[in-house]
Amino acid sequence: MRYFFATAYDGTNYHGWQRQENAVSVQQVLEEALSAILRTEITIVGSGRTDTGVHCKQQFFHADFMELVDEAKLTFQLNSFLPKDISINSIKRVEDHGHARFSAIARSYQYKINTKKDPFLKPYSYYFPKALNIQLMNEACTFLVGDHDFESFSKVKTEVNNFRCIVSIARWKKEENNVFFDITANRFLRGMVRAVVGTLLRVGQGNLSLKDFQQIILSKDRRKAGAAAPAHGLFLRSVQYPSTIFV
């Protein structure tokens, strides 16, 4: 029987989601917790990767069990066992074909920027005191929406069949001393959101024109895009699934 787990985590102390040989990842910590509680080796499959230092408000993973799970009890046990920077928010049974990665129909990220120095925001927001033209950045976002090849914003060494993503939302908003970038798509490439943010910041400063930004997308060349924005400002906000996979 297959179950979906909704998890949240502060990515500061982890080398991303995916298990690695020589660094601690979120996946490793979760697998070790489940294996210790259930006294059997458990392997999990996440809805996707997050880079080192990226935070998550909602990430899903699935795991298979031979017997029915007491969802409330296991949630309590995991939250008692896990470190303070990782939580389990829900456990739900799904159909056997339900897949945390391949069944997802949309993923949403938010990038946070603070324009006024604030030590309390340092781990979770990128301090960027330079003036930004939010209207111009939103005009540039219109080139992102739709079905496009985003190779220009992908890490160069990544194993994917194609670089096409369907972006449904891409927008900036300013609230007092904070600036937020929201983006939703059916899938994301490795490093894509941070590269998009870094390039749009150049637009907002007047260093790139709208035509330049459009040409960067069409070039399919990562070298032409801007540097990736720092990881600590990025949050995976939600992952959406069709209701039909839940039991």
Question: What average pLDDT score do residues 173-200 get?
Answer: 97
pTM, to two decimals: 0.95
Residue 156 has pLDDT above 90, yes or no: no
Residue 215 has pLDDT above 80, yes or no: yes
Q: For residue 96, indicate whether it is catalytic.
A: no
Q: Do domains 2-102 and 106-238 have the same CATH topology?
A: yes
Residue 158 has pLDDT above 80, yes or no: no
- From the number of C-beta atoms within 10 Å of its C-beta (0-12, 13-18, 19+), residue 60 rates as buried
Please check whether residue 121 is in contact with residue 29, taking contact to mean a CB–CB distance below 8 angstroms.
no
pLDDT confidence band for 161 (50 / 70 / 90): confident
More confident residue, 126 or 157: 126
pLDDT of residue 42: 96
Mean pLDDT of the chain: 96
Would you kindly state where each structural domain of the chain is located, as residue ranges?
Answer: 2-102, 106-238
pLDDT of residue 45: 97
Residue 148 has pLDDT above 90, yes or no: yes
pLDDT of residue 21: 87
Q: Which CATH architecture has domain 106-238?
A: 2-Layer Sandwich (3.30)
Please check whether residue 118 is in contact with residue 133, taking contact to mean a CB–CB distance below 8 angstroms.
no
2-102 classified as CATH 3.30.70.580: yes
Catalytic residue among 10, 51, 64, 96: 51
pLDDT of residue 157: 73
Instruction: Report pLDDT digits (tens) over 24-56.
Output: 999 999 999 999 999 999 999 999 999 999 999
pLDDT of residue 159: 75
Question: What average pLDDT score do residues 77-92 get?
Answer: 98
